[in-house]
Structure 1
Amino acid sequence: MSTLLWSRGRLYAPDEPLATGIDHGLTVGDGVFETCAVYGGQAFALTRHLRRLARSAHGLGLDTPDEDEVRAGVKAVLEAATPDVGRLRITLTAGPGPLGSHRSEPGESRQTVIVLAGPAPQMTVSRAVRVPWVRNERSAVAGLKTISYAENVVALARAHHHGADEAILANTVGELCEGTGSNVLLERGGELVTPPLSSGCLAGITRELLLEWSAEAGLPVREALPGELPYTVLDDVLAGDAHLALSGSIRNVVPVVSLDEVDVVAGEVTRAAQELFQARLADDLDP
């Protein structure tokens, strides 16, 4: 299937002109986005994703997105989509603006909202590599889902070069942080632990739901204490003393079965978390 696009109240063909060349999202990456999985023609956890879209917009200094407009775009693309659609993306930019980093004065331009739907890969396991670059946990955009993704593109290209589908990053103080498009979870001592938000990682929706659902089910999954997970803990994964998992809106919860081109084993708690997440999402598509 081809990608479906919606903006300004109507659907667009993939090759049809849509945004102006002076849109601040194109010139300086001034925008935020959300990606949702789609099951049976419905966007998963859409309400939570829209809530985070607003948080990211506020963090970037953008006006609150018009939720009614966004939901109208979501409805339009999903109604027009074929059954094999698996991914929905919502992009919000500052709209037309100056060529520099400064924005137009308030009221001078209208935000750009684009909703897309298209195919998504089905993943049950993941392969990851460590990369030499870091997340800046003190960045002005730390924890925000912005469209400024160049560093992720570079890191993920390194991963693909080594036969992996994800790159794992530390932060500036040597803590385990996140992947380019996923949260990480480390299994050891019979529990599954994910870096705290203070590490600079994104507050993932899948991460959030897994913590909530695991607590309800009595599964030992928790957020780490600050400094509890140094980046060097990945050496324990290679040694077989720990296990690694990833979470994200398209991959859900998956074990890592290869790290730095070395095969590793999935952990028992990871497998249980994967099964729990799959079972719970089937119960409610907008939890």
Structure 2
Amino acid sequence: MTATVWVDGRIVDPEAASIGALDHGLTVGDGVFETCGVQDGQAFALTRHLRRLARSAAGLGLEAPDEALIREAVAGVLTAAGPEAARLRITVTAGRGPLGSGRTPGAQTVVVAASPGLHHATSSVVRSPWVRNERSAVAGLKTTSYAENVVALAHASERGADEALLANTVGELCEGTGANVFVERGESS
């Protein structure tokens, strides 16, 4: 299995063109996403992920995603993907737009995709030379504007690492390019 993909109401060939060339998610990164693990054919913590997707959409000024439609798409994709599905990505874009930053009001584009997961027993990380701007207009939002992460991960890969850790503008640990970071202080009980 490579991926099972649902776009705007139907399962599509993951290799076929199924999103318009003028979709604002493609031209300017005007969209939001969530990635969930899949366990026993179910998206892990789907309700929490959908709440965060809605918060990210609101933060970008997008209409609230249609939760019922997304849940239907998730169910369809996971059924079609079968037991190999280990990760699920939900993407909502502003839909067709102009080539500039302005939006054209109208329907959003919704994409739900499932694929096998990438599991590593161990990972190595490097600190990225670039930082996250905690005062950015998109700070705390999961947007499709991921070019910074691509560059930071390529930097890590060139140094033999699997992930890059980024600090914010005041030097505090912020996040990885695709991984969550947890720090435990003190003794555990």
Q: Distance in 1 between matches of 2:56 and 2:131?
A: 21
Q: Which has the higher helix share?
A: 1
What SS class does the counterpart of residue 82 from structure 2 fall into?
coil
Q: Match of 2:89?
A: 89
Q: CA RMSD in A?
A: 1.2
Q: Distance in 2 between matches of 1:189 and 1:114?
A: 42
Q: Match of 2:108?
A: 111
Question: Equivalent of 2:177, from 176, 180, 186?
Answer: 180
Superposed CA offset, 1:84-139 (max 9, x none): 111100000000011100111x3xx2100000011111234321101110000000
Q: Distance in 2 between matches of 1:78 and 1:164?
A: 31
Q: Match of 2:69?
A: 69
Matches within 5 A, 1:17-96: 17-96=17-96
What SS class does the counterpart of residue 33 from structure 2 fall into?
strand
TM-score (norm 2): 0.96
Q: Distance in 1 between matches of 2:47 and 2:184?
A: 30
The share of aligned pairs that are identical, in percent, is 66
Q: Quote how far apart the aligned CAs of 1:188 are.
A: 4.0
Q: Distance in 2 between matches of 1:188 and 1:55?
A: 30
Q: Quote how far apart the aligned CAs of 1:165 are.
A: 1.2
Superposed CA offset, 1:247-281 (max 9, x none): xxxxxxxxxxxxxxxxxxxxxxxxxxxxxxxxxxx
Q: Match of 1:99?
A: 99
TM-score (norm 1): 0.64
* Range 21-30 or range 181-190, more displaced: 181-190
What SS class does the counterpart of residue 187 from structure 1 fall into?
coil
Structure 1 runs, 4 residues or longer, greater than 4 Å off: none
* Range 132-141 or range 152-161, more displaced: 152-161
Q: Distance in 2 between matches of 1:182 and 1:142?
A: 16
Paired residues in the alignment total 189
What SS class does the counterpart of residue 97 from structure 1 fall into?
coil
What SS class does the counterpart of residue 138 from structure 1 fall into?
coil
Considering Cα pairs closer than 8 Å and 6+ residues apart, tell me whether 1 or 2 has the greater RCO: 2
Structure of greater Rg:
1
Q: Which runs of 5+ in 2 are unaligned?
A: none
